[in-house]
Structure 1
């Protein structure tokens, strides 16, 4: 299928800051260069103690990184639905009803408010509990109904992340490949570098070599130089 990105309003859901770039960095570069409106709805962020290069990153640091990445890509807007340590890495404790309602109607970037033509979500087979519950809540928010009563995005996709590819029940091969060029891949890498608390050296799922390798693999599968892979939840041609 051919997508005229200049006509699209794209809403990307990211459980945490950097997920949108890991999964959709090339697409965001391509879409923005064509003139698309791009919005990012983050679900949560908080202080993080992990095995990142720093070992610890504060919510304030992560907010600063978001602003740099938003300016770099030229997002039309972004928002964090459930900020703070009460929710970060604990979204599985949040009632599905509350999370789905935020995604569907109770956020400045809710589907009903923004009426996007394309919605892109994380895939439900992620190993991360925040990703899993976010994916399921978005699935609920996008449920079929009367289009005269609720907005239905024409295209609903899920993105992949290299960290999720080792599961025994991992998702099948992507159904949609978005062709990218070298500049789109460079933009994706540069944006990940702006997430300074999150990018890693190789071998790591968030390393430059991993991201380039996955884009090369997906490109090969489509007979082009580079691509990002997506799974299709809905497609109205």
Structure 2
């Protein structure tokens, strides 16, 4: 991969609303600006009594506003229970996520990192990888994992899979749009120095960018790439 056009049709898989913006909102904005179709799959939805229906509706509205700002082609919502994916049979999770991946037939998948502290993230990663098995020539040619503030870096990297990026996408021109998209999530934005703050989100992009001598970047782990 040496240019965005090589990503083809893109599907970003998010365990929960806002993960996709935190992990690759700048990349999504760049792709849309260059005429590349970006789909988002949101795997879970908050269920009572753990989640208040009004709060769930608010987060969904915030998500759709953010996706409109990022020019997402379509948002695909799966009705699996948030923060309770471990209570659902793996076959059901695999089937529901797999159905959408098969329908979209993406060339590139962006997934959460398997080493994230939130159990939903690991389950969504695994279900997506099941769907992406290269059993036919429509399997995604590229799978990249993104990092999610307060999830990817809060586990125990000496003992759990560490996020070690080897792909960096320049988002210097779209960082502001990413930050504006995250601002749409008024229920999720936290004051600095909490990690889910605008300041920290920008700082991470600046730091990742400096790693590869650009003004801002998003970092990814390349899980698999098939050159056809």
**Do they fold alike, i.e. is TM over 0.5?**
yes
Structure 2 stretches lacking a partner, 5+ long:
none
Residue number in structure 2 paired with 1:21: 21
Partner of residue 171 from structure 2, selected from 150, 173, 180: 180
Residue number in structure 1 paired with 2:202: 212
CA positional deviation for 1:48: 8.6
| Rounded Cα–Cα distance in structure 2 between residues aligned with 1:153 and 1:34 | 20
CA positional deviation for 1:176: 0.5
CA positional deviation for 1:142: 1.5
Residue number in structure 2 paired with 1:37: 37
Q: CA separation of 1:6/1:153 partners in 2, compared to 1, >3 Å: closer, same or farther?
A: closer
Contact 1:47 1:58 in 2 (8 A): no
Q: CA separation of 1:47/1:111 partners in 2, compared to 1, >3 Å: closer, same or farther?
A: closer
Q: CA separation of 1:57/1:191 partners in 2, compared to 1, >3 Å: closer, same or farther?
A: farther
CA positional deviation for 1:222: 1.0
State the TM-score, normalized to the length of structure 2.
0.90
CA positional deviation for 1:167: 2.5
Residue number in structure 2 paired with 1:222: 212
SS in structure 2 at match of 1:210: helix
Partner of residue 114 from structure 1, selected from 84, 104, 129: 104
| Rounded Cα–Cα distance in structure 2 between residues aligned with 1:189 and 1:32 | 16
| Rounded Cα–Cα distance in structure 1 between residues aligned with 2:54 and 2:180 | 19
SS in structure 1 at match of 2:45: coil
Contact 1:14 1:40 in 2 (8 A): yes
| Rounded Cα–Cα distance in structure 1 between residues aligned with 2:190 and 2:55 | 17
SS in structure 2 at match of 1:190: helix
Residue number in structure 2 paired with 1:96: 90
State the TM-score, normalized to the length of structure 1.
0.87
Residue number in structure 1 paired with 2:64: 67
Asked whether 1:141 is paired with 2:131, we answer: yes
SS in structure 1 at match of 2:176: helix
CA positional deviation for 1:7: 6.9
Contact 2:115 2:163 in 1 (8 A): no
* 1:76-101: CA deviation from partner (whole Å, max 9, x where unpaired): 11121115xxx121011111111111
CA positional deviation for 1:47: 5.7
SS in structure 2 at match of 1:44: strand
SS in structure 1 at match of 2:44: coil
| Rounded Cα–Cα distance in structure 2 between residues aligned with 1:76 and 1:212 | 25
Q: CA separation of 1:207/1:77 partners in 2, compared to 1, >3 Å: closer, same or farther?
A: same
* 1:149-172: CA deviation from partner (whole Å, max 9, x where unpaired): xx2112111101121213222524
Equivalent residue pairs, number: 222
Residue number in structure 2 paired with 1:165: 153
Structure 1 stretches lacking a partner, 5+ long:
none
CA positional deviation for 1:204: 1.4
Residue number in structure 2 paired with 1:152: 139
